[in-house]
Structure 1
Amino acid sequence: MKLDHVLLATDFSSPAQRAEEYACFFAARKHARLTVISVLEFAAGMDPAYPVNHQYLTERMQEASVLLTEAKQRIANRGISASTRIETGPPSEAIVAAALTEAVDFIVLGTSGRSGLAHVLLGSTAERVISRAPCPVLAVRSTGGTEMALKRILVPIDFFDCSLDAAEYAAQMANESGSAIRLLHVMEPVSYGLDFTLGDATDLARVRERRLRQLEELATALVAAGISTTSVIRGGIPRNAILEESRQWSSDLIVMGTHGRRGISHLLNGSVAEAVLRQADCPILAIRSPKFHPDHRRLIPVSVRQSLSR
């Protein structure tokens, strides 16, 4: 995995403070550069020169400058050198733009895990960043009180390319940290056919057996690479099954591939990664655009990936 430059996006809230701890954790492990960004939310089209807007931005800028200086000192106390920047505009757009400008390999940010009407009306900065980011995004919802560890990584697998990318990224992390991986495949509930009959039980058993073989093949490849790996199949709604497995296994991190859907497709189909993000007890690492060094050694052989890919 390529992790030379980490971008921490903060609004100085409790989740953002926990995200800062994770950003420092990964930056220290990889001796990576760390950039801390704070975005002053400002709607597109508003005139920053208008007196009221100008006063608002000036006050927010002063406040953010003080808080960023304090954050930079906290980070320095951990032995990590950080640079800071302040941007204005819609937060998700500013964070993605900064990630592109800075050519970062990893974004870390906190999320409040909103749901219900507030989520529908306001959306989530974390979810919007995940859907557009040019690199993996670590979203941290927890507010502290738990050990900073990376011992157990849960990797949901649906055998599409994005989940196999996530598996490779998780394998690289586990290989460097000595973490254990659990592969999870979720078989969704049976749907009714046009004649209102259930699918043939024999066909369902055959599908389950095929998925078991595929999971075992992937697990075997990871074990051969020296990674402690187990696998499990659950039935149910994907987001619920992932959350339940994560809690029962006490995972420290969930690494998920995401299609990064936007627009009407997103509204109709949603995103499992984003649904999990709202309720997970541990951080979620969303992989839409994985970053690897050009000469990295694949831990999941190409031949295995080709045999697994849908």
Structure 2
Amino acid sequence: MIRIKNVLCPVDFSPISRRALDYSIKLARHYEARLHLLHVIAPVVPSLYVDSTRVEEAIKKQVDREMPKLVESARHSGVDVESIVRSGEIEMEIQVAARARKADIIVVGKHARPAVERWFIGSTTDRLLRRSATPLLVIGEGKRSTPPNIRRIIVTTDFSEGTEDAFAYGLSLGQEAHASLVFLVFLHVMRPTPVAIIPPLLPTVLEPQQSADQVRQELENRVPADAREGCSVETRVEAGEPYREILNVVQQTRADLVVMNIHGKGGLERALLGSTAERVIRGAPCPVIAIPPGKTRRMSA
């Protein structure tokens, strides 16, 4: 069973940040965890047209005014809470705070961005998704149930490294909430390859593709034996573009939460845009938990 003892919630006092805080409060109360509210004051770059000193003073006044309100809101809900204010690069300070507070999960808000802008690096949430060693719970603008009223959870996998982590996390959350669990896996669809003008000298060898029945059997074998204790379980095999199919299933089932693992990629690969996790987070109407490899094994025990 997953143990959540420390919840870290970075706040910037925006409406989406407030939604993340509300979710964090309910999560912390449900698990009787401590809530750590973090605000990071990013450096103000001096310029000819900007008085950096006045800007920093205004920011600090806002922090002094707004942070006590958030702390009081959490305490009023019966949650043990502390506030942290740091200065520095936002993503780095979040990771430092997560390590220092031994955070079991980081809850962040997802700001809606134009389609073109989505393809460019710049979002703190995007950078955390690529680099964080702590599970990341991303809250969007859609309306879905919060703990302990989560009723439908989608757990996705492609049988890559970290599958067991996602399964264990989703199962624990599902059993805690007595929710319906859908374990979702995808068939690898062979894409047509361009025909070369000059035939290759050696024959091309294609790896055999698993059939739907084989994939379904492997999925059933990987679902923990105790998965059906306290919650209903469904296994589904879909074919197609993974992120599109995940979003389709989320819409069909009106899921309250998606749990997925982040592949054990190297630094360069995790720095690239376009992963399934990023696309699901951008398009999902419900919160998404992204779990880095090996995290569940470190948290459980």
TM range (shorter): 0.7 to 0.9
Which residue number corresponds to residue 301 of structure 1?
none
Q: How does 1:1-310 map to 2 (within 5 A)?
A: 1-42=2-43, 46=45, 52-121=51-120, 123-142=122-141, 144=143, 146-148=144-146, 149-193=149-193, 204=209, 206-219=210-223, 221-223=225-227, 225-259=229-263, 261=265, 264-266=268-270, 270-289=274-293, 290-291=295-296, 296=301
1:58 maps to a residue whose letter is: E
Contact 1:2–1:291, Cα closer than 8 Å, also in 2: no
Deviations 1:210-256 (A, max 9, x none): 10101222346244544421011111111110001011011100001
Aligned length: 287
Structure 1's unaligned 5+ residue stretches are: 297-310
Q: Tell me, what secondary structure is at the counterpart of 2:190?
A: coil
What's the Cα RMSD here?
Answer: 2.8
- Between stretches 85-94 and 20-29, larger displacement belongs to 85-94
2:109 maps to a residue whose letter is: G
2:216 maps to a residue whose letter is: L
Q: 1:8 to 1:267 in 2, by over 3 A?
A: closer
- Between stretches 64-73 and 215-224, larger displacement belongs to 215-224
Structure 2's unaligned 5+ residue stretches are: 197-203
1:37 maps to a residue whose letter is: L
Which residue number corresponds to residue 199 of structure 2?
none
Deviations 1:125-175 (A, max 9, x none): 11211222222110001265x443311110111111212211111111222
Deviation at 1:262, TM superposition (A): 6.7
Deviations 1:254-291 (A, max 9, x none): 00100265764346563211111011000000100524
Deviations 1:20-71 (A, max 9, x none): 111011100111111101122227xx57xxx932322221011022111111
Contact 2:165–2:297, Cα closer than 8 Å, also in 1: no
Which residue number corresponds to residue 305 of structure 1?
none
| Percent identity of paired positions between Structure 1 and Structure 2 | 24
Q: 1:83 to 1:183 in 2, by over 3 A?
A: same
Deviation at 1:105, TM superposition (A): 1.0
Contact 1:258–1:273, Cα closer than 8 Å, also in 2: yes
CA distance in 2, matches of 1:220, 1:130: 27
Q: 1:295 to 1:272 in 2, by over 3 A?
A: closer
Deviation at 1:194, TM superposition (A): 6.9
Q: Tell me, what secondary structure is at the counterpart of 1:278?
A: helix
Q: Tell me, what secondary structure is at the counterpart of 1:161?
A: coil
- Between stretches 284-293 and 73-82, larger displacement belongs to 284-293
Query: Scaled by the length of structure 1, what TM-score is found?
Result: 0.83
- Between stretches 120-129 and 83-92, larger displacement belongs to 120-129
